Structure formats: structure tokens, C-alpha cells
Amino acid sequence: MQSAIYQQTIRHIARVSGRGYWSGQPVTLTFRPTSVDTGIVFRRMDLPGQPTVCGLASNRIDMHLRTKLVSGAAEVEMVEHVMAALYGMQIDNCLVECDACEMPGLDGSAGAIAIALQQAGLETQTAPANILVLGDTMQVGDQQSSITAHPTDEMNLKLVYHLDYGPNSPIPSTTSMAVLSREEFLHHIAPARTFLSEQDANELQRLGIARHVTFRDLLVFGPNGPIDNALHFPDECSRHKLLDLLGDLALCGARIFGTITAYKSGHNLNGRMALQMLQQQTQLRKPTPLKLQATASYAA
């Protein structure tokens, strides 16, 4: 018989600092333990009243090349790597305090966040985890790009991503697969970095976006491969797509058991699948209202 799976939070406070890719604005994330059924909550420390937004697909709005959450005055964007790190490290409940809207870009991966959470340790809590066991096949997308969620007899999450930008793209076509565990995520998914073509990078900077970002801050592909950089894995680009997929699916608010196969999907399609999963969870408990003491009462 399958043993009960309990919710987890972090044991100690963790912090990660960096600059947003898009805005260039410095930001510090402070991860704090929270009580059962809180879920993942972002708190904007830089705004009046320190408003919060829950990490759920119902709060997601469409945005180009990144995932954004909005609830009232609270807005946070580029949350996919943070959500992936929390999910991959099996953390169900956590308060993420941030002092800017955009999450830190770091090296384009979730590696530093995953390591910080690992060092913070895990605290097993008293309530069963929210589990979504896929019972029927679900699909979003079309022949151009799609995500299919299949039921499985295994009590785990298997992710498959097929990356293909076509024969004329400098970005190689690869396929990555992972059966999710803390170790698998920490060592083989979290370190995979954001990527784009040299043409797209030049266009973004021409528009005044990400002017501070260099070829060392992420993977930029020219005709001969990464410019002034080297791959961490032969299939690093499709592994990064696994990272993004996981971070977006984490917005369903539950641990998923099943097989998810994605073909050329992006944040919009990932978010649509997460919303379907959230809506179909008849037994999913809604996050309890966040009741936390004033920030000054915490010992860092």
C-alpha cells in the first residue's frame, strides 16, 4: 500500500539575490516556512501593505516569454524558475518575499534557487499533500505545439519535452525526459539555462530590453553554437524547457502523478494545462488565508 505523502515546508530561511533579465532591477528573494495548506505565496515587500499573490494558475496572465501572476496590487513575473525549484525540491508550502516585480535571472537556470532550498532543509508537516493522480488523458494545443497528460500506474511524475525550431534554427532539436525526484531535479533539470538565438537577443537589446545581459548570463546561439559559452548538457535547451514546463505546471497547486509529454510548448500552453488541472481537482483544498506575523518578528 502506498504510504501517505505529507506536505512539506522549508526548515530554515533561504535567500537568493540577483537582477531581473527584463528590467535589470536588483531583487532579493527570501523564502520562509509557512503552515499547512498555505501553498506557495509571493509577497511584494516593496509595495504598500505588502500584498500577496498565490502561485496558482487562476492568477496567471499571458505575457511574452515568461509567466506572470497577478492578484490585486500584487504582481510578480518570471516566476517559472522559482515555482519549478519549489516543486522540484518537494516544497508544498512557502512564503516567497520579494522586493521587486521580476524574479532574479541569475545564470538563466534554477540551480542557485534549488541549492538554497536544499540548504534550508525540509520540514515534514502534519497534513497530507495535495495529490493530482491523472485519471484521464488531457490535451491542450494543436499539431504545431501541444501538451498531453497521460495517466500512469506509477506514483511519480514523468516529463518529456520535444524541442524543434526547424532545420534553419541555430538551436538544436533535442528531446529530454525525466522521472522527477529531488536528486533528478537538483542535478539534471535545475542547472539547465535559458536560451535564445543571437538574432532574437540582438532584437531584444535593440528594443532596450535586457541590455545588461551578456553571453555569459544565458545561452545565446549563433551559427556555430553557443557564443562565448558552453553547454552544461548536450540537450540543455530541451532540459530547460522541462524546467519551464515544471514551473508552469506547479501552478496547479498539487503534486502531479502521471506522464506529461510536451511538443514545442511554451508558457501560454503550459499555463493552460495547469489551469485545466487546477479546475479538475475536485478534492483540492483552497489555500488558507495567509496569516503571518509582521516581517520584523522573524529572525533571519
Residues with a catalytic annotation lie at 267
Which residues are CB-contacts of 180 (< 8 A; sequence separation ≥ 6)?
Answer: 88, 156, 157, 158, 159, 246
Cβ neighbours of 4 (radius 10 Å): 9
b/e burial code for range 231-251 (CB count within 10 A of at least 16 → b):
bbbebbbbbbbbbbbbbbbbb
Compute the half-sphere exposure of residue 66: CA atoms within 13 Å on the CB side of its CA.
20
- Among candidate residues 236, 239, 235, the one with its CA nearest the CA of residue 262: 239
Residue ranges of the alpha helices (H) in the chain? 80-88, 111-120, 182-184, 198-206, 236-249, 267-279
What is the amino acid identity at position 7? Q
